[in-house]
Amino acid sequence: MDSDTLQAFQNELICSICMNYFIDPVTIDCGHSFCRPCLRLCWEEGRAPMCCPECREISAKCDFNTNAALKKLASLARQTRPQNINNSHSICVLHKETKELFCEADKRLLCGPCSESPEHMAHSHSPIGWAAEECREKLIKKMNSLWKINQETQNNLSQETSKFRSLADVRNVSARADLAQMQKPQPVNPELTSWRITGVLDMLNNFRVDNALSTEMTPCYISLSEDVRRVIFGDDHRSAPMDPQGVESFAVWGAQAFTSGRHYWEVDVTHSSTWILGVCRDSTTADTNIVIDSDETFLLISSKRSNRYSLSTISPPLIQHVQRPLGRVGVFLDYDNGSVSFFDVSKGSLIYDFPPSSFSSPLRPFFCFGCK
């Protein structure tokens, strides 16, 4: 075999990712071959879809059997390639000969005379190339084991993430409300337990907005319709005709409007039993007398009727059967994903998460609190 042909043959045994002879080679759907560890790392960084690093063809599966023939040829090529003898560590200082043997007991490289010395005579020795192949096989087995553990961990994490998201799913809220009705409660507002979500506040604080609300308070008169679909407030009593539920209040708008990104802020509701908190379309801030309906308005409302407190939302109109928060309420706006959520800060629990929407206008924080 001439040198050019030999070189071409050896090139076919080289992984195009690491540019070394194949280690545990696999051949994917398109016919190209790579080291299994190289391919896994490449696909792990790229996530989906899984494409061939050479031709970019999408692969239908992510795991393949070892190409045994290619593995054997690559192993022979490694063992027969010239060794680097210029390294001073490869020359025995005592005998001035190349260290070509590996001592299994001491895990050391030895020259021929050293392997026959009394110190090493009883130990098992093997050629460096063969020993290197053995070590590679052991390493590959450990890597495969770690890879399986990593995949199991990722699957478990995905399941836990799905469980967390289900806690913020409005369908769960509806299911809990239906369950409360099935239990035939007494004529009082049913109150369901809110569970603490571990780590949720730490996560939300990564998106905290300081001074989200303006320091200017506007006196107004607020009224909530019976069907919990509209909120009317203005600068005098006449602007809020639904007198039975009317409350003298103060309104505070956000210091800025949001058009993208994730934002979290908290509001203290300790000193007010009647309040409205959330985000509204920015254009509503220019009106003196405003009717807030369900058009890009996401509000959580605390109200008192017949000496009973309740929480409700506008869109969709829904009474929240959870305990009214007595401290701070957190608001999380994920503009890009169309999400608005409310949290009871003292309990670290979710109050309500609006169904996903598509925002088209700037949204500005809003807070209105009553005098009684």
Query: Domain for residue 46, yes or no?
Result: yes
Residues 349 and 215 in one domain: yes
55: helix, strand or coil: coil
Query: Domain for residue 310, yes or no?
Result: yes
> Amino acid letter at 241?
P
**pLDDT value, residue 230:** 60
Query: Domain for residue 100, yes or no?
Result: no
**pLDDT value, residue 306:** 67
Of these ranges, 98-102, 147-151, 170-174, 280-284, the one predicted with the greatest mean pLDDT is 98-102
Does pLDDT of 63 surpass 50? yes
Does pLDDT of 49 surpass 80? no
Higher pLDDT, 148 or 87: 148
**Dihedral pair phi/psi, residue 131, rounded to 5°:** -65, -40
Ranking 176-180, 192-196, 269-273 by mean pLDDT, the lowest is: 176-180
**Which residue spans within 69-122 are E strands per DSSP?**
101-103, 108-110
Of the residues 52, 81, 110, which one is the last residue of a structural domain? 81
Position 169 confidence tier, pLDDT thresholds 50, 70, 90: low
- CATH number of the domain bearing residue 15: 3.30.40.10
Distance CA 213, CA 115 (A): 80
Of the residues 46, 81, 116, which one is the last residue of a structural domain? 81
DSSP secondary structure, 179-238, as one string: HHHHT---SS---BPPPP-TTHHHHHGGGB-TT-B-S--EEEEEEE-TTS--EEEESSGG
Does pLDDT of 265 surpass 90? yes
**pLDDT value, residue 46:** 52
Query: Domain for residue 273, yes or no?
Result: yes
Residue % of the chain over a pLDDT of 90: 13
The closest of 28, 67, 35, 19 to 51, measured between CA atoms, is: 28
**27-61: buried (b, 16+ CB within 10 Å) or exposed (e) per residue?**
ebeeeebbbbbbbbebbeeeeeebbbbeeeeeeee
Phi-psi region of 60 (alpha: psi -120 to 50; beta: other; left: phi over 0): alpha
**pLDDT value, residue 247:** 54
Looking at the 3D structure of the chain, how many domains does it have?
2
372: helix, strand or coil: coil
Position 288 confidence tier, pLDDT thresholds 50, 70, 90: very low
**Which residue spans within the chain are E strands per DSSP?**
25-27, 33-35, 101-103, 108-110, 125-127, 218-224, 231-234, 247-253, 262-268, 275-281, 290-292, 297-305, 308-313, 318-320, 328-334, 339-344, 349-353, 363-370
**pLDDT value, residue 174:** 62
The closest of 293, 300, 227 to 269, measured between CA atoms, is: 300
Residues 354 and 222 in one domain: yes
Query: Domain for residue 119, yes or no?
Result: no
**pLDDT value, residue 38:** 86
Position 7 confidence tier, pLDDT thresholds 50, 70, 90: confident
* Eight-class DSSP state of 153: H
Does pLDDT of 16 surpass 60? yes
The closest of 122, 120, 170, 214 to 313, measured between CA atoms, is: 170
Tell me the mean pLDDT in the region 287-308: 69
Q: Which residue range forms the structural domain that includes residue 17? A: 1-81
The closest of 31, 127, 132 to 74, measured between CA atoms, is: 132
Query: Domain for residue 87, yes or no?
Result: no
Does pLDDT of 173 surpass 80? no
- CATH number of the domain bearing residue 352: 2.60.120.920
pLDDT tens per residue across span 201-257: 899 999 999 889 988 887 777 666 665 556 665 554 444 443 444 457 788 889 899
Phi-psi region of 307 (alpha: psi -120 to 50; beta: other; left: phi over 0): left
Ranking 2-6, 165-169, 282-286, 340-344 by mean pLDDT, the lowest is: 282-286
CB atoms within 10 A of CB 128: 17
> Amino acid letter at 35?
C
Ranking 14-23, 160-169, 256-265, 325-334 by mean pLDDT, the lowest is: 160-169
**pLDDT value, residue 83:** 55
Of these ranges, 73-82, 101-110, 169-178, 277-286, the one predicted with the greatest mean pLDDT is 101-110
Query: Domain for residue 303, yes or no?
Result: yes
Ranking 26-30, 117-121, 155-159, 206-210 by mean pLDDT, the lowest is: 155-159
Tell me the mean pLDDT in the region 22-44: 87
Q: What is the mean pLDDT of the chain?
A: 78
Of the residues 81, 111, 127, which one is the last residue of a structural domain? 81
The answer to whether residues 265 and 213 touch, using CB atoms and an 8 Å cutoff, is yes
DSSP secondary structure, 57-70, as one string: PBPS-S---B-HHH
Query: Domain for residue 355, yes or no?
Result: yes
**pLDDT value, residue 237:** 45
**pLDDT value, residue 185:** 47
